[in-house]
């Protein structure tokens, strides 16, 4: 947490606010030695062991060519810098990088990361169709677990074209030709995108075999579109009725338009490190352990069994999931939240069963019971999934990991799954490969309750926005003590935000347990402070003292001077040795 209203004296280790402050995702420095350039000792690999996600970041997923980024390097830079800030480390501390993308020339990974830094590290360019992002992630995990590196970046991005996917090369063997041949043998070939035909046929097989209905696929899409309304990173954030989804244009029955994921531009990044690195740099707050992660490719059953469900990876998913749960020593009942590959609603339908979330043939009942959403047994795709969040191929698996890390760190804002302790990820690419993973918070005693990520600040909002969110969050648990001490209301008028934007936050440390309100409020402030966004951030971080800000003209003050003097009490006091 960041500088929630701190006590006058804040020890280096005892206060949860102190721990929170060190875990901020905003800014370029952790208030410790985290941003020091990697030393020779840091570059040395640690013993073989566990792998932890310590930093995540992503861009908003957007319609191809219509978003805020002109090209993939700027997307990748944003995602990477957010992940570094989340972890509180510098790019110099990254020892290797695996970079995933599907549509692009060789060495796009270097082109993307050179905008962040040119440190000479190995950069591996990865392409594994729609599972590209999680392929980069499993490579990072293996590099860390194998003791080769202590800190590895997994980055994924995609700059796509509008419309359905198409082939790039027509003068060589197509990796999907065997799949299309088998599909023709089973169902024949019809009009419509091949991917929609493959997955739509899987739904048809499930309906014929187990009695599920087209409305079950539509209910999945309804759920995911509804979930996306809570996600500021989602490409689509509109709620649709079940009737609207069912009546949208048919792509390949039973799939309609609103049951198919869009093409997207976007990027996501994940930093994976060793336990030694976590301990050395005090990254306990953000550390999420990768309990198990498995990649499985096609076996002979994909083609030989003449099954539309197996043709799109049912057996791959089942095998990977069984391996992961066995390796982690966990059961499906231990899971609370799931991000799975819903490129089409049909794939989510069959994946419930392949992952073992419900019995074989039980997906229809599972959906009807609401066991795939809030209030049910699991929350599946709280991000909105691919259907609504979007699907930039190289970024998807890493965006899933990002969402699950926010969930386990209790930072998912309005999407937060209550009591999320174990998270399941599933990312599949035809051709084919599937990656399944289990995550859990590594050091639950170092808990975070901040929802700064999903609140939208890191999606191009105010730099100081997350700090106010943290203050409000802390007041929920410790507000009474601060109200007793401070007894004042402060309003911050923040200027020079993104694109020159202005906004205000009111910190009530006078009434009840206190609260933070954004925008217009009926509360009358005792003290009004006007500052630039960047200066508010420096003030809250303890890098700019209130008196210094006032006399240098960076702070404009209006109101009760005796109250203004209390401003120092709501700023953290960090011992110099820990700066």
Give the chain's length.
579
Element (H, E) at 471: helix 465-486
Map residue 6 onto helix, strand or coil.
coil
Map residue 126 onto helix, strand or coil.
strand
For residue 76, which of 231, 234, 270 has the smallest C-alpha distance? 270
Map residue 434 onto helix, strand or coil.
strand
In this structure, are residues 189 and 197 in contact, taking their beta carbons and an 8 Å threshold?
Answer: yes
For the stretch 560-567, contacts whose Cβ atoms lie closer than 8 Å and that sit 24 or more positions apart, written own/partner, are: 560/488, 560/526, 560/527, 563/488, 563/490, 563/526, 563/527, 564/527, 564/529, 566/486, 566/488, 567/490, 567/527, 567/529
Pairing of strands 422-429, 433-441: antiparallel
For residue 412, which of 225, 269, 233, 261 has the smallest C-alpha distance? 233
Question: What tokens does 400 get?
Answer: 């899933």
For residue 231, which of 72, 385, 87 has the smallest C-alpha distance? 385
In this structure, are residues 263 and 66 in contact, taking their beta carbons and an 8 Å threshold?
Answer: no
Q: Examine the residue annotation and report whether 130 is marked as an active-site residue of this protein.
A: yes
CA distance 523 to 544: 27
Among candidate residues 108, 130, 151, 343, the one labeled active-site is 130
Nearest-10 crossing angle of helices 132-145, 393-408: 60
In this structure, are residues 235 and 268 in contact, taking their beta carbons and an 8 Å threshold?
Answer: no
From first CA to last CA, the distance across the chain in angstroms is 16
Provide CB contacts within 8 A for 313, sequence distance 6+. 298, 302, 354, 428, 430, 432, 434
- Return the active site residues: 130
């Amino acid at each position: 947490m960041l500088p929630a209203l701190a006590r006058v004296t804040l020890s280096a280790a005892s206060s949860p606010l102190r721990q929170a402050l060190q875990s901020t995702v905003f800014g370029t420095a952790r208030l410790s030695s985290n941003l020091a350039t990697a030393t020779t000792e840091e570059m040395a690999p640690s013993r073989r062991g566990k792998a932890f996600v310590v930093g995540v970041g992503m861009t908003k997923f957007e319609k191809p060519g219509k978003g805020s980024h002109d090209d993939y390097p700027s997307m990748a830079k944003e995602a990477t810098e957010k992940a570094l800030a989340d972890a509180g480390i510098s790019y110099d501390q990254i020892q290797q990088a695996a970079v995933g993308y599907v549509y692009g020339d060789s060495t796009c990974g270097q082109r993307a990361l050179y905008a962040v830094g040119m440190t000479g590290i190995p950069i591996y360019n990865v392409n594994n169709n729609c599972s590209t992002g999680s392929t980069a992630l499993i490579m990072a995990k293996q590099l860390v677990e194998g003791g080769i590196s202590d800190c590895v970046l997994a980055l994924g991005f995609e700059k796509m074209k509008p419309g359905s996917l198409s082939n790039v090369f027509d003068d060589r063997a197509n990796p999907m030709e065997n799949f299309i041949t088998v599909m023709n043998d089973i169902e024949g070939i019809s009009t419509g995108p091949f991917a929609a035909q493959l997955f739509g046929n899987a739904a048809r097989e499930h309906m014929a075999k187990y009695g599920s209905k087209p409305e079950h696929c539509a209910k999945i899409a309804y759920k995911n579109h509804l979930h996306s309304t809570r996600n500021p990173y989602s490409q689509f954030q509109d709620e649709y009725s079940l009737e609207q989804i069912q009546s949208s244009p048919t792509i390949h029955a039973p799939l309609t338009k609103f049951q198919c994921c869009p093409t997207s531009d976007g990027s996501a990044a994940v930093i994976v490190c060793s336990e030694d690195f976590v301990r050395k740099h005090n990254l306990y707050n953000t550390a999420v352990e990768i309990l198990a992660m498995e990649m499985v490719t096609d076996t002979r059953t994909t083609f030989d069994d003449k099954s539309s469900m197996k043709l799109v990876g049912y057996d791959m998913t089942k095998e990977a999931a069984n391996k992961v749960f066995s390796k982690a020593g966990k059961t499906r009942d231990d899971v609370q939240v799931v991000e799975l590959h819903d490129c089409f609603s049909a794939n989510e339908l069959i994946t419930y069963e392949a992952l073992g979330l419900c019995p074989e043939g039980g997906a229809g009942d599972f959906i009807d019971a609401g066991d795939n959403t809030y209030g049910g047994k699991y929350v599946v795709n709280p991000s909105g999934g691919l259907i609504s969040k979007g699907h930039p191929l190289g970024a998807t698996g890493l965006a899933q990991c990002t969402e699950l890390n926010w969930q386990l760190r209790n930072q998912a804002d309005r999407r937060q799954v209550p009591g999320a302790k174990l998270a399941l990820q599933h990312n599949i690419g035809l051709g084919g490969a599937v990656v399944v993973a289990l995550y859990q918070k590594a050091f639950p005693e170092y808990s975070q309750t901040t929802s700064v990520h999903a609140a939208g600040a890191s999606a191009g909002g105010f730099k100081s926005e997350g700090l106010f969110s943290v203050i409000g969050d802390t007041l929920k648990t410790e507000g009474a003590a601060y109200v007793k001490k401070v007894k004042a209301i402060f309003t911050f008028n923040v200027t020079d935000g993104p694109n020159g934007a202005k906004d205000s936050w009111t910190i009530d440390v006078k009434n009840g347990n206190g609260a933070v309100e954004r925008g217009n409020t009926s509360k009358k402030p005792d003290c009004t402070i006007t500052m630039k966004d960047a200066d508010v951030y420096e003030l809250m971080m303890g890098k700019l003292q209130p008196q210094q800000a006032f006399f240098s003209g960076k702070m404009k003050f209006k109101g009760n001077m005796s109250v203004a003097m209390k401003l120092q009490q709501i700023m953290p006091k960090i011992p110099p040795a820990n700066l």
